[in-house]
Amino acid sequence: MMESFCASYQLLTLHGGVVRVPFLVRGQVVPPPQIEPAEIEAAFARAESDAVHVTLPGAQVLRLPLIDRTMRRITAGWRYLLMPSIRPPDLIELDLDALACGPYALPADAGAVYLETLIHAITDNLPLVARVIELERAISELPEALLNAAFVAFAAGLDGQAARRMLDAELSLWNIPGSRFLEEWVEVPGTPLADPAAITGRAITPAAPAAPTLIRATPTRQLHITAGNAPGIPIISALRMLLTRSVGVIKLPAGAILPGALLALAAASAAPDHLLTRHLSVVYWPGGDESVEQVLFAPGAFDRIIVWGAPGAVASVQARAAFTRTITFNPRYGVLLVGREAFDNLEDVVLRAAQDTLIYNQKACNAAFVHYVEGDPSQVTMYAEALRAALSRWDELAPQVVPPAVRGQVRRMRRGRYVAAGWHLNERDGEYESGVIVVDDEFDMLDHPLFRLAVVRPVTRLEDALTFLSQAVSTTGIYPEERRLGLRDRIAARGVSNILPLGQCERAYAGMPHDGMVVLSELVDWKNG
Amino acid sequence: MSVDTLAELRTLQLELIALACRWALRQPYDPEHARRRRQRALLLAHDHYRAHVPAYRRLAHQEQIGALDTLTPIIERMMSTDDLFKSYRQQWLDDGDFAAMTGWIAELHHRPLQIDVAGVTTIDDWIERLEAADVRPVYSSGTSGTFSFVPRDVAGLARVRTASASYLLPQLLYDRIGGPLERTLTRLAARLLAPAPFERLLRAISPRSYDGVFLDFRHGRTGMQAIGREAAPVFRRRSFLYDSNLSAATLRSVARGPRTARDRENLERLHTETIVNREANFNRVLDRMRDSVADGRKVFIFGVPFQLKDLCEHALRSAREVRLRDGSMVLFGGGWKSYTGERIPRADLMQLVHDALGIPEVRVIEGYSMTEINVMMVRCVHGRFHVPPIIEPVVFDEALAPLQGADLRGTIGFLDPLATAYPGFVISGDTVRMVDGPCPCGLVGPAVTEISRAARREVKGCGGVMASLRA
């Protein structure tokens, strides 16, 4: 079915450098119009030289640089993603009664069953999945090995059993499984407090038996504005929305349009008439496009806006969507705290540290950017050199394509503010591949180029690193375990969300809090009845 | 490097300044000759830095670069970024370790620095000790509060004065502020006099008919304040928006937060001066301008764009607009920096200046420069910031490889042969469009037409660009 959709509309195949990408708009697959590659190239020729997005009648095109995996470089060529244009009003659910009688009235398990349907559709169409991976391979900045792993994780993320556990854990109250609150009004053993009006009016108001204390979690209309650093983010967003039987829009990021389109096709082909499909949209528009966002951010258009974004983007959404509850996943980063015990087992420690550093090739918010290492200068140099060697093994295991701008930034750092730092780089043909920089002074995170550069900060005591921990740090990986247990509460008090053993910073499981929130609980509306 | 070589460099500096003067006045000028002289000066500067600036010598050693007969290796491997001047440890300033700071700045300076830092507790004290040793540090403060210190010296500042008077004033006199008589006299003087006496003459005659208004603090050592400090004495009367000192310690506390009771006191004073008394300060400089009008004198206003905008908006809002005498002018530069939220289109700023002060756009001069270089580029009426032939501009691609061509976009850097006290081969943080060729204004050579601050890297973390965070 997914393949027949693709065949009918020539979707997700390559033709003259162009990939036709469908959207899902409230359950309907919307293919892009027929536009010849020459017409697209002409449109970009008319645009600014650095334009990445143009609009054409009924269509929009995103231009992404082609990556030569063999030569491990970004080429001068382009891949064009041809997508339909969108009409923002079409994305908004206005008939609230239809929602109440429709998707909101589905059994609590409907979301998990639906996810199982989607995963079956995808696993039944592995040639198409392979084709999408191949298309993604030509434009994704992720190393090929990590890209393949991301698609495996994508499938795993739609696992029905895990989804049920997530629902029961994240919406649980009073030791009652969360799915019950989503299914029905649930009586909880609450004891109403003394009510001033009732006390005052006791003399004149007829007595009535106390009503039971009932709570229910109702689905919401959600707009998810996702980020593309990790291709799984749109999938996580969809999972959260569908699991709560909610309805709404997934806005794909430029870096994960093809996996998002795969999800859209799976929904439309495997369960075209399912209420969750009929109220699901998967689309793209360039972030900040006023013509779209003015409509979607208007009061009453959605019940929740979920933004993964830069502070400016988040502030912009919050300012324009002042009357809609906004849930934000801010940019954060990970750090490691490595105690002096590491030098008894250095090779093992640096391999774990490298793994924590390379989560989504250092693009995820839990990837370690800075390693605070307890030791004297010679020990820290030893750590840096061992870590460099570990990163070199990753360079062989999962070769990355380093953009020219990253190499330029490394040059800027070496010839500027970090001229006196200790540089331990892996190079290929004299060019940066990965490495370690030992910085004795504070490091400005804005200077970090990503792409496998670990910043090592020597500290006399691990506790000295606490001063650098704040809400901006999502994850701290610590070695050894006893030091982690000793520091865990102090680190938590500074705003860090995850304090994990070294080598386990990528940890995720059903029901795990995210950025200090139990997210499903934020996405539903809690009602008293 | 021998004394003879340094003498040759100084001779070439004056020669380039003289060539820039001819260029500014649209007199017969051979760009190829200027290029050859500039190249020679830059190669001598390279030798000077290798011999006398420890940080540069180390980089040259690391890159295995010795004496050169071409600029290419310098451009490709020896240009530093402007961040070089903030490569000290913040901890040293936090801890008041000014011996360490002196050791660091000596690495970037061409003379050995041995100053006594006993009793030095603030950046300002430290700068005063450096000044006693003939160093003239100029600093700029980033939004994160990380200061950039450029260790200029007395001789270098004198060269800046000579250069500015020799090409900048003639350039402005030619088509922006001068009349036919002034132009003729300037041309004649340029032909007859060497740069130093030419500078003295122009300084003596040009600004005396102006009263200076500086939209800044009376005392301070940021790049803009340094320009103001150099320029102020030549005006017969001068007034400052803030008639006080902005100390480096206070400026650092603004961005990084106060650490001591003294910091808090300084911040309170700053708050009083710039916020509580803001309107009174605007009123005072507007009153001084009105005095100038009454006395039949022209006014020269110097400042950064957001201050200029605020002044004009205040004048209009409080019905205190003033019609300055014909010939009055504004010189602004420095960008919007951390005031990007207040940025308004250039045309709107011009209209504001006209409405509030009566100065037409032709007399509103916009300059572009960097704290680390010794020349200012002035935007002509055709929208080009012309690069005087004293310095060599280079545009880099995102990998920091130099680009060739007559119409380039990328990160701009400069090779500045006037810099002898510190390495003057600097890559900026600005993204520009640079064109080369004749301009309708009559000037030739490279010119910058568009300037924006280079994005500080891309997405970090799952969500997007982070703020400046100290890790």
- Domain co-membership, A370 together with A296: no
Pick from A443, A468, A472: CB nearest B466: A472
Q: What is the pLDDT of residue B458?
A: 37
Report which of A251, A226, A250, A264 is spatially closest to residue A11, judged by C-alpha positions. A264
Q: Is-cis flag, bond preceding A480, omega within 30? A: yes
- Does pLDDT of B173 surpass 80? no
Total structural domains in chain A?
2
In Å, how far are B14, B52, B195, B208, B222 from B198, measured between CA atoms? 12, 31, 5, 16, 28
Contact B397 A415 (CB under 8 A): no
- Rounded to whole angstroms, the Cα distance separating A268 from A277 reads 7
- Domain co-membership, B348 together with B272: yes
Q: What is the pLDDT of residue B465?
A: 44
Residues of B in contact with A309 (CB under 8 A): 463-464
- Domain co-membership, B98 together with B227: no
- Domain co-membership, B233 together with B109: no
Mutation site, A233, A317, A446, interface B, largest B CB count within 10 A: A446
Domain holding A287, by residue range, is: 2-169+219-329
Q: What is the pLDDT of residue B457?
A: 42
Report yes or no on A519 lying in a domain. Answer: no
- Domain co-membership, A244 together with A276: yes
CA atoms within 13 A on the CB side of A47: 16
Last residue of some domain: A289, A312, A329?
Answer: A329
Q: What is the pLDDT of residue A314?
A: 74
Report yes or no on A516 lying in a domain. Answer: no
The better pLDDT of the pair B204, A434 is held by: A434
Report yes or no on B238 lying in a domain. Answer: yes
- Domain co-membership, B188 together with B273: yes
Query: What's chain B's average pLDDT?
Result: 87
Report yes or no on B117 lying in a domain. Answer: yes
Residues of A in contact with B469 (CB under 8 A): 444-446, 470, 472
Q: What is the pLDDT of residue B246?
A: 84
b/e map of B407-434 (b: 16 or more CB within 10 Å)? ebbbbbbbbbbbbbbbbbbbbbbbbbbb
Q: What is the pLDDT of residue A316?
A: 76
- Does pLDDT of B456 surpass 60? no
Report yes or no on B420 lying in a domain. Answer: no
Report yes or no on A515 lying in a domain. Answer: no
- Domain co-membership, A313 together with A342: no
- Domain co-membership, B209 together with B281: yes
pLDDT band (50, 70, 90) for residue B335: low
Q: What is the pLDDT of residue B464?
A: 43
Angle in degrees, 0-180, between the axes of helices A233-243 and A160-170, rounded to the nearest 10: 70
- Domain co-membership, A249 together with A378: no
Q: Is A76 on the interface with B (CB under 8 A)?
A: no
The better pLDDT of the pair A314, B50 is held by: B50
Report yes or no on B172 lying in a domain. Answer: yes
Q: What is the CATH number of the domain that holds A420?
A: 3.40.309.10
Q: What is the pLDDT of residue B182?
A: 67
Q: What is the CATH number of the domain that holds B172?
A: 3.40.50
Contact B469 A309 (CB under 8 A): no
Q: What is the pLDDT of residue B360?
A: 93
Report yes or no on A182 lying in a domain. Answer: no
Total structural domains in chain B?
2
- Rounded to whole angstroms, the Cα distance separating A153 from A70 reads 25
Last residue of some domain: B96, B112, B140?
Answer: B140
Q: What is the CATH number of the domain that holds A120?
A: 3.40.605.10
Q: What is the pLDDT of residue B26?
A: 87
- Domain co-membership, A108 together with A242: yes
- Domain co-membership, B123 together with B242: no
- Domain co-membership, A126 together with A266: yes
Pick from A308, A443, A450: CB nearest B460: A450
pLDDT tens-digit readout, B286-298? 999 999 999 999 9
- Domain co-membership, B91 together with B226: no
pLDDT band (50, 70, 90) for residue B254: confident
Average pLDDT score over residue span B205-227: 77
pLDDT band (50, 70, 90) for residue B461: very low
Report yes or no on B408 lying in a domain. Answer: no
- Domain co-membership, B193 together with B100: no
- Domain co-membership, B327 together with B365: yes
Nearest CA of chain B to the CA of A174: how many Å?
33
Q: What is the DSSP string of A99-135?
A: HHHTGGGS-TTHHHHHHHHHHHHHHTTHHHHHHHHHH
The better pLDDT of the pair B5, B189 is held by: B5
Pick from A331, A404, A444: CB nearest B463: A331
- Domain co-membership, B94 together with B193: no
- Domain co-membership, A366 together with A230: no
Report yes or no on A527 lying in a domain. Answer: no
- Domain co-membership, B362 together with B263: yes
Report yes or no on A236 lying in a domain. Answer: yes
Would residue B409 be called left, alpha or beta, if left means φ above 0 and alpha means ψ between -120 and 50 degrees? beta
Residues in chain A with pLDDT < 70? 157, 310-312
- Domain co-membership, A475 together with A348: yes
Domain holding B377, by residue range, is: 156-389
Nearest CA of chain A to the CA of B464: how many Å?
4
Angle in degrees, 0-180, between the axes of helices B3-24 and B31-52, rounded to the nearest 10: 150
pLDDT tens-digit readout, B363-421? 999 999 888 999 999 999 899 999 999 999 999 999 999 999 999 999 999 999 999 99
- Domain co-membership, B254 together with B287: yes
Last residue of some domain: A278, A296, A329?
Answer: A329
Report which of B412, B464, B417, B454 is spatially closest to residue B435, judged by C-alpha positions. B412
Residues of A in contact with B146 (CB under 8 A): 444
Q: What angle do CA A106, A107, A112 make, to 5 degrees?
A: 100
